[in-house]
Structure 1
């Protein structure tokens, strides 16, 4: 198992609010990209009107610092009343199998 912390966060906007939620999330992405340990932090839109963050952090400790930091506080404040359900957060760790390049999300160092 990898020490690298990968997180998938599923956000379910209230009906008719996906545009507003997307804009609020996009506004904090640059700040998160500058956080210590952030390797990957990307917003995706599902076919079912969900928004999904896929994140990779150097360590669980750095992800936990992010979760207690200003960007997450800002997201929480901005999304007040706009969500249909609480955000689902899945914290996972890679189990390398097969070819390394295809078995794990690449690290920032590997992509340089």
Structure 2
């Protein structure tokens, strides 16, 4: 069995476009939530002015299908022109520690 994959995607809104970016992400997020293997896909407002997506996928294969799928294409179309720079995507593997329920995402 493959291990879950954790991803962060950091979105840098164009000046004055933060609220429009958040709103534009809504339909794509809803579509991603319906994808196989999506365990977590949640946006967060970071103190530095960015929007950070925290994701958890059941497997690397599910993440690959997501990256090539229609939901991510929809998200990318909807946010076109609302970013100051490209999205920074980081893929991670869990390093469980401490309490089993609290030590992994």
Equivalent in the alignment of 1:35:
35
Per-residue deviation, 1:48: 2.0
Q: How well do the aligned residues superpose, as a CA RMSD in angstroms?
A: 1.2
Q: Distance in 1 between matches of 2:76 and 2:34?
A: 19
Per-residue deviation, 1:36: 0.2
Give every structure 1 segment of 4 or more consecutive aligned residues whose post-TM-superposition deviation is greater than 2 Å: none
Query: Which structure has the highest strand share of the two?
Result: 2
Unaligned runs of 5+ in 1: 106-112
Where in structure 2 are the equivalents of 1:1-112 lying within 5 Å? Answer: 3-105=3-105
SS in 1 for 2:95: coil
Q: For residues 51-106 of structure 1, give each alpha carbon's deviation from its aligned partner in whole angstroms, at most 9, with x where no partner exists.
A: 1110100001101100111111111112222111110001001011221112101x
Q: Distance in 2 between matches of 1:18 and 1:73?
A: 20
Instruction: Name the TM-score, length of structure 1 as normaliser.
Output: 0.87
Q: For residues 8-39 of structure 1, give each alpha carbon's deviation from its aligned partner in whole angstroms, at most 9, with x where no partner exists.
A: 00000101000111011122222111100011
Instruction: Name the TM-score, length of structure 2 as normaliser.
Output: 0.93
Unaligned runs of 5+ in 2: none
**C-alpha contact 2:14 2:82 (8 A) present in aligned 1:** yes
**C-alpha contact 2:11 2:83 (8 A) present in aligned 1:** yes
